[in-house]
Chain A
Amino acid sequence: MNNKNIKAWVGLQQHAEEMADIHLNDLFQSDDNRFDSLSILDGHFLLDLSKQRITVETLDKLVNLARQQKLASWIDQLFAGEKVNISENRAALHTALRLPGNELKEIDGQAVTADVHQSLAKMGRLVKQIQNGQWRGFDGSPIKSVVNIGVGGSNLGPLLACDALEQYASEELGGLDIHFVSSMDGSELEKLLPTLEPATTLFIISSKTFSTVDTLANANTAREWLLKASQISAERVIQHHFIAATGNPKAAKAWGVPKKNQLLFWDWVGGRYSMWSVIGMPIALKIGMGHFRDMLKGAHQMDKHFKAAPFEQNLPVLLGLVGVWNINFLNIHAHAILPYDGRLAQLPAYLEQLEMESNGKSINRDGERITYRTCPVLWGGVGSNAQHAFYQLLHQGTEAVMCDFIVPARRYEDNGEELQQQHDLSLANCFAQSRLLALGQGALEQDVNSKDYQHYDGNQPSTSILLDELTPETFGGLIALYEHKVFVQSVIWEINPFDQWGVEKGKQVATSLLNELDHVTGEQRLDSSTQGLLKYTQSKRQVGGGYEG
């Protein structure tokens, strides 16, 4: 099937031609009620789409496109545990990870809810034991520091959540120091280990497959560090200092992690959708199981909204559709994520993976090459800092960029006036930037003397997402909002957002090159560039070795 042939798609193309020359400034000038008709308030969230280059008519047409692409049926399949991940023949049931215990769900005869809650309960017991100071290191000392070893989905989600919700940590929760290491080059461990006490440090190896080379390399370094410090057997070191959060208990066992130290999840949880599972253990250790469950609750509320709300009022649906509009009809292929809250500094990195690993694809579900654009390049940073970095390009560059402005309305309510004023400053900047990006000169006083290089074109579209405040619950809802937005777009584009074949091969190629680093075996036919790089490296690693280009 070719998307371009479907009626709604063609209708949108025609509509886009009509909209092409209309400036956002004109849209605001001609309609005083624009905000009211193009913003949605639901629960703890306000989604303002009025600074997008759309009209009510555009939204109607986009919703129509969603209907023609059978979005409702896809949502049903997603939630029902159908095998929507066709290339791996699996369900994608991250929504089941946040189901309340009394909402039963089965797939293929498996009592999913019961499994989920059993796994969470085991995690809760370990979390409590560690927080109470009753998990013991090799010399009987209580654990003070926890290091999460994981990469990608086993790193970015927990890291983001721990950062975002730090204020919910407390001495009563054990006052644990939570660290994250991910990079395969060991840079983080090299810096971290000398600051830790081996006897009071616990490592969580987070890996769905338990075969990720980055993670295992870090885990081995950590294990050696403990062996040296403790002078006891590897078996006991692992028993007292390593927990595995994994979908592959066999491999974890083979590495030495005993069953009682294993926290399990299932193949129907994608890595980048896994922070709701036992992969979220660092979050629970930091903010407590109660707050962790609040985070699940917030995500579950967003799930219910996504399932039940009419498309016209549905936050993830609209967020996704407006993205499709920008990408496929306005030809905007860069997307900036701009939280105006330092606690969400990791959000851009998190969404880079969620969006680009999910929808960065060019083959459709039927295995055909597609002819339209999919996921854009996505990046970002804390908005107020990015103002001093890449906003120049947003305001006066040649690239069209769509932006998401994300900010909580309330903050620092118990923290004194000075900090509240800083939040006010941040809010003012957030609102000012989206206004200036949209309206350009229209937002400014007319100045006849202004030079061309002082001119702001405007017309850069943006969405503002406002949260009441940042809590475990709203945080859970925010992440679920983006998860579902990604799914909506994948349905429109007819791609499978739940696999990631594009990241598999690189690992194999690297493994085969590892041997070549010590000496060129010549067993592989390598391109001249790779040969040149290998040769240079070898020459620099040999004492006194010279390099002949």
Chain B
Amino acid sequence: MRVNVYGSSLAAWVATACLAKVGNEVVINETMACDNKELNDISVIRDEAGLLDELQRQMDQGRVSRQSKDSIVKADIYWLALESNEFELAEKIIGQLRGLRSMKTLVVSQCNFSVGATASLQSHLGNAGDVVYIPDNLQEGVALKGFSTPKRIILGLDNDAALTKVKALLRPFSSKLEGLQIMSSREAEFTKFAITGMLAIRLGYINELANLADQLGVDISVVQDGMGADPRIGRHYLSPGCGFGGQNFHEYVSKFSGVLKDHRQQSLLKTVVDENEVQKELLFRKLWRYYDGKLSGKRVALWGVSFKPGSASIDNAPSLKIIEALISQGVYVRAHDPEALDNLRARYGDKKLVSFHEDHMEVLENVDGLLLVSEWPLYWSPNYDELYKKMRQPLIIDGRNIFDKEMMELHGFDYLGVGR
């Protein structure tokens, strides 16, 4: 089939790559001016593992082409993967589609605008076609896999006639599909927001418990095991840490908390979002307390600055808040990350206090502390003796609880975890 994808987001590029891979001819209409940037200059592509290669391959085989002109190429399916603030653009595209007067057009929207947005687009399109909503399962870091072999798909659809075409489109991605849930577009939109919010609340709650555990001298990992063993709760999204980040997750949660706040004065989710911002500075506060607030002139190493392992993105990452706090106190920040250094350099390249290091052991030279912010696999099992030797003060503050507290203390480190 011919598919037109609209958008410049990660979701748009992932859809382009995956739809082309299964044989569709895909034209991607880049909605943000990319000035015909090379693919490897586009950060959302570069930052997502495997995406650049896949897109390149599909382009070489002629199944993907890029278009930035403001005109419509006829297609079987129009796939909208716009940013949540691009609703007007979506309306404009729908307007153009209506002008085509083609036979039943199918529009798949993956955009998280708001509850009721799909229905509104449908009324815009009139009877020239159908708009369906398929919320993305996008998990940055494993986005390609998430698109190609989803376990669940939610399909928001207000007219059964579109179902056959949608099913045909999704068939190549159904090998591991356990459930296709069909509901109205409004319900699907609400569900997407609700899932994201629920996950955020779980994280917010375990973080709050961890901070309390810190104060009460309880090990949160033991509590976490106990909680996770209860089938009503389960183990996923139950690891405390120094705050969640990432462009999408943060954006959805904030947006939905805004919706809740519009309808109710107080929103639980708003509190979670606010508290998460506080949590992002947790490692800084632990360092501050360790040194009694005397941080000026100290040297501190950061391991992992991306918002999570497997991604080069630093959007809303806790590392940013930590770096801001450290340089405000006159601390020398030595940063290491397997992927995100370029992005970090673009942001802090002009700051004398921040240096960027390719080697995760070299970054530790003479430091007064190591802050582990993002748990790349590279960090999980370091050479402890070398680590100890390199550091001026053997202080490790572990924002993801990846190290064993007793083991670290055995090696002579001062170890501070989250809730331990």
Contacts and interface: CB of A to CB of B under 8 A. Distances in A.
B324 A138 contact: no
Interface string B259-289: 0000000000000000000100100111111
A140 B285 contact: yes
Contact of B285 (A139, A232, A239): A139
Contacts of A240: 293
A87 interface: no
A140 B284 contact: yes
Interface stretch (A129-137, A327-335, A469-477): A129-137
B289 A140 contact: yes
A136 B287 CA distance: 12
A44 interface: no
A236 interface: yes
A134 B324 contact: yes
A261 to B, nearest CB: 13
A136 B321 CA distance: 14
Contact of B292 (A132, A141, A236): A236
Contacts of B289: 139-140
A236 B328 CA distance: 18
B389 to A, nearest CB: 29
A413 to B, nearest CB: 24
A79 B324 CA distance: 44
Contacts of B284: 140
B328 A239 contact: no
A129 B327 CA distance: 12
A138 B293 contact: yes
Contacts of A139: 285, 288-289
A359 to B, nearest CB: 47
A232 B329 CA distance: 20
Interface in B279-328: 281, 284-289, 292-293, 324-325, 328
Give the one of A134, A140, A142, A236 with max B CB within 10 A.
A140
Interface string A228-263: 000010001001100000000000000000000000
Interface string A110-146: 0000000000000000000100101010111110000
Contact of A136 (B278, B286, B293, B324): B293
Given A236-B293, A239-B293, A141 B328 contact: no
Interface string A141-173: 110000000000000000000000000000000
B288 A129 contact: no
A136 B324 CA distance: 13
Contacts of B286: 140
Contacts of B281: 140-142
Interface in B92-133: none
A32 to B, nearest CB: 56
B292 A136 contact: no
A141 B281 CA distance: 8
Contacts of A142: 281
Nearest to B327: A134
A261 B111 CA distance: 50
Nearest to B325: A134
Contacts of A132: 324, 328
Contacts of A136: 288, 293, 325, 329
A511 B287 CA distance: 46
B324 A140 contact: no
Contact of B293 (A129, A134, A140): A140
A181 B14 CA distance: 58
Contacts of A140: 281, 284-289, 293
A129 B328 contact: yes
Contacts of A141: 278, 281, 285
B88 to A, nearest CB: 23
Contacts of B293: 136, 138, 140, 236, 239-240
A142 B274 CA distance: 13
A467 B281 CA distance: 45
A140 B295 CA distance: 11
A503 B375 CA distance: 65
B322 to A, nearest CB: 11
A530 to B, nearest CB: 49
Contacts of B324: 132, 134
A230 to B, nearest CB: 11
A140 B287 CA distance: 9
B186 to A, nearest CB: 30
A240 B292 CA distance: 11
Nearest to B328: A134
Nearest to A239: B293
Nearest to A199: B285
A48 B324 CA distance: 53
A34 B289 CA distance: 71
A445 B284 CA distance: 74
A142 B281 CA distance: 10
Contacts of A239: 293
Interface of B: 278, 281, 284-289, 292-293, 324-325, 328-329
Given A134-B324, A139-B285, A141-B281, 13 more contacts: A129-B328, A132-B324, A132-B328, A134-B328, A136-B288, A136-B293, A136-B329, A138-B293, A139-B288, A140-B284, A141-B285, A236-B292, A236-B293
Interface of A: 129, 132, 134, 136, 138-142, 232, 236, 239-240
Nearest 7 interchain pairs by C-beta: A140-B288, A140-B285, A134-B328, A139-B289, A140-B289, A140-B284, A139-B285
15 contacts: A129-B328, A134-B324, A134-B325, A134-B328, A136-B293, A136-B329, A139-B285, A140-B281, A140-B287, A140-B288, A140-B289, A141-B278, A141-B285, A236-B293, A240-B293
